[in-house]
Amino acid sequence: MSRRIHLALHPYGVGGPGQHGLWKDPSIAKDASIDIDYYIRQAKAAEAALFDALFIVDSQFINATYPAHYLNRLEPLTLLSAVATHTTHLGLVGTLSSTYNSPFNLARRFASLDHISRGRAGWNVVTSFDTGTSRNYGLDEHLDYPTRYGRALESVQVVRGLWDSYEDDAFPADAERGVFLDPDKLHALDHVGEHFRVAGPLNLSRSPQGQPVIFQAGVSEEGRTLAAQVAEGIFAPGGTLDAAQAYYSDIRRRIAAAGRDPDHVTVLIHGSPVVRGTDDAARRRAREIDDEDRDFDRSLALLGRAFGAHDFSRYDLDAPFPDVAHLAANGGRTGAAAIIARAEGEGLTLRQVAEAFAERPERPFLGSPTTVADTIARWFEAGTFDGINLAFRNDEDLAWFVDGVVPELQRRGLFRTAYESDTLRGHLGLPVPENRHTRARNLVEVR
């Protein structure tokens, strides 16, 4: 096969959304989310298994009801810079908000990670889900959807412009001639836009992969549009096979409509495989996980996150779901709309909504190594994804996948048997972007 599956690892320390009981697992250190050795071990395991990337998610607002991992975790680029020095091939993708970071700082920090890792950095562009984040940055209100996504698009454009400040051959470093820099190969940006004014240039050269890879998790209408315009990697929600097919088809159509090549964008769905020696053993393990995470109060609190960290405990649990749509207008609008639609359509009480919200979706990737590999292959060949962003309960669950499923995928020719590149772009089969100033000069010379 010409196409092969891409795999990323998404570690969640002591437990993210819905993983209410993970921190109690005796195999999980209670400080895992701030223990750099935990992330280094995860990264080394992923690299030994020939994964494409390690992905670190982030947010910048919490209250006491938030998932355990969110309450106490490391900043992504600091974390990934440390991991970079203990790995050689694994891509390193970090989440940073375009709403609450300036483009110059974003450009410099990701370019630095790209140099530290010798071409393995990726930026997951987010506009910030939690409405409370604004108050951590001196703003009374979270920016509305159009403003956040307008800033995001312009931020990516500015960052990419700054990454092209130096042409690839800008530093002859010729001691005999006394020439360190060729000044004709250094370019100020002088950007003046709707949201940003950035002079440049950036004080950092391009890396072996030209520019870090841009990722985006486009779910809302605005998110999908942004992803189609700028993303080279997309984190998709997954869900059922039909839902994943519909998303994959829609996003590729949008990419083409934006004048871009859909084959130069890697779509990775979320997956939490449960693998054991037999299908029955895997089902038992899945039930254990569900039992460990069953906590109504935490589920009710997590429901509130889709509505600006709203406290639903103040309501009568057995009354109809309250009218709180306005609380999600600038935050988790897409997810909140789905919750409200189901509540209204089925006439659910608040208790029933919280219970339904806490229900674990059916796991498509569950069973023996052969069963899970069969399902992954079927989904891949049905046009649902280019890769999977994998989350595992603990090291044992990761090992079952690595030792059992990966060899099955390799045997079928669906996954690499050795790294063929040293960069993240190389792993994903993405082209190295030509420096815009070099390209312009070459066009002039051709004419």
Q: In this structure, are 327 and 394 located in the same domain?
A: no
Structural domain includes residue 446: no
> In the block, which residue shows the tokens 């403003």?
147
Structural domain includes residue 445: no
Provide the percentage of residues in the chain whose pLDDT is more than 70: 99
Q: In this structure, are 157 and 298 located in the same domain?
A: no
Given 307, 332, 358, the domain boundary residue is 358
Please name which of 329, 335, 330, 328 lies closest in space to residue 353, comparing C-alpha atoms.
335
Structural domain includes residue 285: no
Q: What local confidence, expressed as pLDDT, does residue 219 receive? A: 86
Structural domain includes residue 447: no
**Domain range for 300:** 290-358
Q: In this structure, are 148 and 174 located in the same domain?
A: yes
Q: What is the 3-state secondary structure (H, E, C) of the chain?
A: CCCCCEEEECCCCCCCCCCCCHHHCCCCCCCHHHCHHHHHHHHHHHHHCCCCEEEECCCCCCCCCCCHHHHCCCCHHHHHHHHHCCCCCCEEEEEEECCCCCHHHHHHHHHHHHHHCCCCEEEEEECCCCHHHHHHHCCCCCCCHHHHHHHHHHHHHHHHHHHCCECCCCCCCECCCCECCCHHHECCCCEECCCCEECCCCCCCCECCECCEEEECCCCHHHHHHHHHHCCEEEECCCCHHHHHHHHHHHHHHHHHCCCCHHHCEEEEEECCEECCCHHHHHHHHHHHHHHHCCHHHHHHHHHHCCCCCCHHHCCCCCECCCCHHHHCCCCHHHHHHHHHHHHHHCCEHHHHHHHHHCCCCCCCEECHHHHHHHHHHHHHCCCCCEEEECCCCHHHHHHHHHHHHHHHHHCCCCCCCCCCCCHHHHHCCCCCCCHHHHHHHHHHHC
Q: In this structure, are 400 and 435 located in the same domain?
A: yes
User: pLDDT confidence of 326, banded at 50, 70, 90?
Assistant: confident
Q: Give 176-222 pLDDT, tens digit per residue.
A: 999 999 999 999 999 999 999 999 999 999 999 999 999 999 788 99
Given 340, 358, 376, the domain boundary residue is 358
Amino acid at 74: L
CA atoms within 13 A on the CB side of 209: 31
Q: What's the chain's average pLDDT? A: 94
Q: For the chain, what is the domain count? A: 2
Torsion angle in degrees (nearest 10) through CA of 366, 370, 375, 376? 100
Q: Are 239 and 359 in contact (CB under 8 A)?
A: no
Q: Are 217 and 210 in contact (CB under 8 A)?
A: no
Q: Structure tokens of 31?
A: 């400080």
Could you give the CA distance from residue 135 to residue 333 in angstroms, rounded to a whole number? 19
Q: In this structure, are 346 and 379 located in the same domain?
A: no
Q: Structure tokens of 211?
A: 């520019």
Instruction: Find how far residue 106's CA is from the centre of its chain.
Output: 16
Q: Give 299-314 pLDDT, tens digit per residue.
A: 898 888 888 888 999 9
Q: In this structure, are 339 and 322 located in the same domain?
A: yes
Could you give the CA distance from residue 63 to residue 123 in angstroms, rounded to a whole number? 26
Q: Give 63-88 pLDDT, tens digit per residue.
A: 999 999 999 999 999 999 999 999 99
Q: Give 98-117 pLDDT, tens digit per residue.
A: 999 999 999 999 999 999 99
Q: In this structure, are 229 and 346 located in the same domain?
A: no
Range scoring the smallest mean pLDDT among 6-10, 105-109, 118-122, 133-137: 133-137
Could you give the CA distance from residue 447 to residue 434 in angstroms, rounded to a whole number? 19
